[in-house]
Structures are given as structure tokens and as C-alpha cells.
Structure 1
Amino acid sequence: MKIKVIMPITSDIFNEEILQEVNYYASESTEVGVTSLDYGPASIESEYDEALCVPNFLEKAIEAEAEGYDGIISDCFGDPGVKPAREILNIPVAGACESSMLFASSLAKSFSVVTVLPNVVPMIENISKTLGVNGNLKSVRYVNIPVLEVHDKDRLKKELYVEMTKAIEHDGAHALILGCTGFMGVAAELQEQLKQAGYDVPVIDPIFAATKMLESVISMGLKQSKLTYMTPPSKERIKA
């Protein structure tokens, strides 16, 4: 199968790392492609950024289907463009946040998310409500590190661990989700570190979750329901 990872940002600083990560997570027979946007925000840290990214994200999604890809991942924890893409495509579209929350809800009765900045907390809470798992979401904490600065892995792991222990001890989380797809390569280490501290809980990497969710849906021969994600009515639409 072929899956296309669309980075809904103009910055390409994550492209090579995300290609390596998804290739590592995916089955050996899965072919992975990665692309970023031609226009839009450099990173997504607000509803405004998310709105700006959607037009070119949808154009990239249409291109991917035309190129023969079997499914698409929106590589941002805000799941930008996922729902409109499901309306216009005949291949499945996976969101990192949706996939992570569904896995967390199947593994524990409660979970918390640790994300980048306070700006995105309401966005994540809204996704949990739309998905119907908001009753399981105990908290959304943040490390106060901008998306484009998460490459400092030592600082990132230190700050994530602090907030994760608070989520367990104070908020009642039984599972943890990394709330940014830029938090690559740290989930397993943090999970082991928490276990050594007496907290044997799953730590979910969102791009890993999205990859496996998408592969499963494709393998099952499934895609989004067209009763839910109906094809948009035909009409004139003027583009900039």
C-alpha cells in the first residue's frame, strides 16, 4: 500500500525525520511519501494557523489520490483538513489526534494529552468532544515550547516527563498522549522512564497511532462513510 503524509505547514524542517519515523512504524510493504505545503503557516499553533493551512492541504490531498496513494495522514495534532478531505476523497484520511485518542480510550479508562502551547489546548479539547471521548480526557497540559523548537530533545523529554507525572498524580490520567506530531522519537523512552518511577501506563506517539490506524483501515478495504462525509454539492467556488 501507499500512504501520503501531508505536513500542513510550509516549513520542511520535519520532513526527513517524519519520513524516517513513518517508515519505521509502517509495515515493510508500505510505501511512504511526505510533502509539506506550498503556502500557508510555518507551523500550526492556533485556529487561525489551522484555517490558513486547509486550502493547500486539500490541494495536496487531491494530488495524492490522483497519484495512486491509498490513504492520507494529516501530520498535525490539530487534525487540520481531515474532515473536508474525507468529503472530497475516495481514500481514507487519518488524523493524528483522532487516532491517538481512540487508541488511548481502548487502552485505559482515562487519558491526558501533553502538548506544545496553551494556544492549542481548546483545539484539542474540541476534538475530544467531536470524537465523543471527552469524558475520558482528564487534562490537556503543555510544555510551553513552540512547535519549531521541539528539536531540542533533551529539553523536550525533561519538560514532557514533568507534565506527564502531574497528569497522572493530579489529574487521574491512566494513559498519556504526546500532543504534537513534532514530538518524534521520545514516546518509548518516556514510557519506560514512567514505568521505572512506578507508573506503568501507555505513552502514545500520535504519528505512530495515525500510521497504524490508516494501515488497518486500508488493509480492511475500508474508507470514510459517505453518509457521514457526503460529497459537497456541485457549485461555483472561486479560489484566490
Structure 2
Amino acid sequence: MSREIGKLIIGCASRSKRPETELFFRPSTGISEISEINNLGARFSNDKVILNNILENSRSMDAAIVYCYFDSAAWPARQMLDIPVTGLAESAMTLAALMGRRFAVLSPNRRYICEMEDAIRVYGRRANAIEYHPVRSIGATEMDGVRWLMEGRLDKLVDAVTPVAHACIDDGADVLIVGCGLLSVLLAVGAGIEEIDGVPVVAPVTAAVKAAEILIDLRRSGMPIKGTQGYWGNS
């Protein structure tokens, strides 16, 4: 099943990439199971494993994409490396701000809402999100998505997303972000949902790949890709 999910992720990421861009999936070994990531302690422990994975593979790649909507270890990796490092949440919100005036984030778990709302503020995107409850749970977890994929019933995921999406649209959202690396891929590639009632549904990995490509271009042209006297400086 993990191999099938990996293929779906690469497939989703490849839809809008440039022909010359090569994508490789590098799973981090030793991290907590999906069912445990609603535990803050487990995610904190995961960050170090993910960071080490990025550092170990950094010489063989032009950019790194952290494949988790919590952007796990993205900031320390960005500080420590000279290559671009992008995360799903930051990239998705940046793209959503270009696509519409107000976005909303669809979360798989109610326990993620506070942290995802904090991320909107940390990334300076509060003005780009809807005023009332910019992050909302769809009531379907990552494990639900895996089970529905195995059963061939991704229509259940669509059924979980649709009413929450409609409520967000009624409250002013003209762009939707699925705040989960796994469920967003299952919805986009598995179920073929790209928009709901004319409102784009952003798959964060698509945004992260395009952000990485832009930063690679800037670096190759000799332009700086991060500030080194502030937060991202490593000296």
C-alpha cells in the first residue's frame, strides 16, 4: 500500500511539473505512524528524523520538498542548506493567494485546526483566508483515506469533503486547500476532484513543486533564494 500511495503522490506532483524536472520520493524511516501524528510529541520527534533525511540526501538534489502539511523540519532545513526547501502549507497558501481573494483549509482532524490556523498567521496569510473558521475539519482522517483507497471507495472521501467545502464557499472562500499531503492526493488524483462549484481545490504538492522549480531557476541564474542576515542565515 505504501508503494501505491507513493505512486499517487509522484503522479499528482508530476501533473504540472516541467518535462525536465525529475521527482524522487524519499520516505523517512523511523517516524511515527500516520495514526499518531495528531500527537504533538510524535510530530516533534518526527521533525529530527525528517531533517536528517533531507540533509543526507541534499547533495543529490536541486531542491527538497517536505511532504507534510505541517511543513515538518522545513525551516531548519532551509536555514542549514543552500538549495531551495519548500513545504506544502506555505506553498499552498502562497498559490491560493494568487488564485483568489480568500481561501479556506480543509483539515482531516479537528486536533490539527489550532496548529493550521497558527500556520496561516505565521506565514502572513491571515488577510488571505476567510474570516470565520479558516480551517475546518472534514471528519475523515488519513487512515480513513487509506481504507477507502483499498476498498475502491474514494467517493466516501468526496462525500466527506463536499459539505464542508460548500460551507467554506458560503463564508467567502474562492479557493480551497486540502490540508493533508495524503488526502489531497487521493482527492485530486484518485477521485479526480480539481474544483467544487467553480472553486479551485489546491493540492499542496502541486504548489510545492512549482515553488521549488521557481527557486531552482533563481539559484541557477545567480540570484539569491533566501535572506542570510535574518532567520535563514546559517552563520
TM-score higher than 0.5 here?
yes
8 Å contact kept, 1:110–1:175: yes
Aligned to 2:69: 77
TM-score, structure 2 normalization: 0.84
8 Å contact kept, 2:78–2:84: yes
Question: Shift in Å at residue 201 of structure 1?
Answer: 2.0
Distance 2:144 2:226 in 1: 34
- Aligned pair partner of 2:84 in 92, 97, 101: 92
Question: Shift in Å at residue 156 of structure 1?
Answer: 0.9
Which has the higher relative contact order, 1 or 2, with Cα contacts under 8 A spaced 6 or more apart? 2
Distance 2:4 2:121 in 1: 31
Q: Is the strand fraction higher in 1 or 2? A: 1
Aligned to 1:209: 207
Question: Shift in Å at residue 33 of structure 1?
Answer: 1.0
User: Deviations along 1:38-74, whole A, 9 cap, x unmatched?
Assistant: 21211233433321211111111111212x2010011
TM-score, structure 1 normalization: 0.82
Given the alignment of the two structures, is residue 145 of structure 1 paired with residue 140 of structure 2, yes or no?
yes
Give the gaps of 5 or more residues in structure 2: 149-153
Give the gaps of 5 or more residues in structure 1: 1-10, 233-240
Distance 1:87 1:172 in 2: 36
- Aligned pair partner of 2:233 in 224, 227, 230: 230
Identity within the alignment, % = 24
Q: How many pairs does the alignment contain?
A: 215
Question: Shift in Å at residue 175 of structure 1?
Answer: 1.1
| Mapping of residues 43-192 of structure 1, within 5 Å | 43=34, 44-66=37-59, 68-138=60-130, 139-151=134-146, 152=148, 153-169=154-170, 171-183=171-183, 184-187=185-188, 189-192=192-195
- Aligned pair partner of 2:18 in 10, 20, 27: 27
Q: Is the helix fraction higher in 1 or 2? A: 2
